[in-house]
Chain A
Amino acid sequence: MGMEARPKERAESASREITFLRMKGRRVKDILIEKFFLVNALSAILILLGIFSLLFTHAYPAMRELGLLEFFGSVVWNPTSYEKSRYGILSLIISTMMVTFGALVIAVPLGVGCAAFISEVASRRVKEILKPAIEILAAIPSVVLGFLGIVLVNPAISLVFGISHGLNALNGSILLAIMSLPTIISLSEDALRAVPKTFKEASMALGANRWDTLVRVSIPSALSGIIASIMLGMGRAIGETMTVLMATGNAPALTINFLDAIQTMTATIAIELGEVPYHTTHYHALFVIGLVLFVMTFLVNLVSDVILQKYQEVER
């Protein structure tokens, strides 16, 4: 502070006073800033709770009126039926799980492989080109991908599999894989890069080649990060709406064939919420779908958290 050197006592005490006040002012400022950030942190939780309670209160009237069996015991979803409205969401749930699973089957090997290449093999110049390219991939709007699904993937699938059209679960899976790739690649790459150099050096010293080092040492050590990246990619795939809405055909029939048209939960909400009169059974039933979707993503996050913690413990 440079105040101690003052010669006169009065000035000294005065300066002490000022310093004290300044300190006090700073402490108030500190507390205020701390509280400000606390409120920010809490607001995330508050918003989450708010969304959950909104979903639940809007979904509850339909559950009370129709019973849970109507939703989970039937595969026919047709609220605007000519004869009798049906609200079975099983086929919608299965459809969502199909495209998500399909997307992961494509994206995980591709994504982890790409991450391994970038972190272990690629030269610096290749890296400099690859990384921004992958980031640009993340910036493609979902509606553009959906459009590509219609005009590009659709005829390609029908050509390869010899079927009349390609608006099906496979199309959705391919597009969702493209969407979740950037997440999986960049987070997996971070995890692989964080593996201590000494691990690799030890492996090499024991006579392992680069491939063995990668598969037996680097990837297992980075596994928690890789799994987290996969889970985040999965979260992206489950909740994605526009792409699947455009590319999967939207036929609500129950199927487990990837070459059939399907209708996911998100697409159902997106299609029907815009036209449904408020506070009718159909309206509340759409919130039931939203609630189930919310619970599903919540579970995915919970499981990934548990896995992450387990692996971190093992590492220690």
Chain B
Amino acid sequence: MLKKNSKLIFNIFVLLLFGVAAVFYWNILASLLAGIVFAFILNPAVSYIESYGVSRIISIVAVYSIIILTIFITMIFVIPKVITQGESIFSFINQSEAVQNVMGSTPKVDKNTIQVKTNPIINIYMNYDKKQERFVIDGSEQIINKPKEEIIELQEADTANIAPLTHSDSLKNGSLEKFMEIPILAQVIDYVNFIDDKLTFVDITDEFKKVVEGLKEEIVQVPMIVISNVKKIASTFAFVFMIPLISFFILKDKNLFSKMFNRFIPNRFFELYITITHKISELVSSFLRALLIEIFIVAVLTAIVLTIIGVNYSILIGLLAGFANMVPYFGPFFGVVFAIGSVILTGQDISMIFYVIFGMWGVQIIDNNIVYPIVIGKSTNIHPLYVFLTVVAGGTMFGVLGMIISVPVVYIVTEISKEMYSSLKKYDII
């Protein structure tokens, strides 16, 4: 009796300890989970190298080196292209004069906002003319030819330099015209003007201009948001660097952690625990690996097809389509929508849309009939309605990330439940 009571007290103590630990480590829980997922993905590669008689630590270091090398090569060859494509979208919508101009177009803003907007670092960013690759420092377009040397001077020149520029009306109107040169906007404006002519009693054009101005202001906020959230960005970097560190130790001492958990399992459930953990780890790691490979292949294929067709921003769209492909049934449509959006927004030939649809369809045929069966092996067999509901629920709970991740997570949880049920049956527990 005494022994039973003391065991109960000890169990309560252990539970309390777990509770305190959960509260204490709550902030790094996300990094820990990401680290575990990363370790799951890498484990087979580490084991493969280990099977050649190499020690586990050296195998882990080798796998890490391969990953770093791959990232490095990607950074050299692919990332610059992606960045240029992303940047050109940004500068297409919002060239540097437009950025400068919004500051002048908002006379109603209060003093605090002006202080933020006239921050010297932002001024440098805003005064940089991407087209001419030079710094514009005032409204009369006086140009500095040696930008690098003048950066410090620009930093010192705070509101004084920007003052004449903020009240330049000619630049303000010029930027609005450029903004309205975007093909889709131009078409909309034509349509608005047409309605405006017909309905003389309503002044739509002015209202529309106000909306466009508002939109432009939102875009200009982007660099400011980046600067005012330096702390958050730094913590994100810390999060990203913690993941490889955590997964390194999980990979190295995999058996140690498994042994530690094993001590808490009663003898009756010991074999069941081993069966279930093995099946879960095998399922999760193979599924995650397959998903990564599929994303990579679909992204590369889409980028190649779109480049051949001649769609602008093909690599960027390829990457987006690869990630969107994680969602079965609906994911591929996102890729098509991105590509069509690019064709329309950049004013390319409308007939190109058909080529895009056929090209992306081809990618899907390859993915569904060659890549998916080889990489994932068996069909995930989730009903389209279930997928749709999961995507919507994930979207409302966690936004875009939720939409993408919810389906794989739900699939894994369903499969684990199935495995657990069959194992419990085999051991006569249920």
| A and B interact physically | no
Q: Which residues of A contact B (CB under 8 A)?
A: none
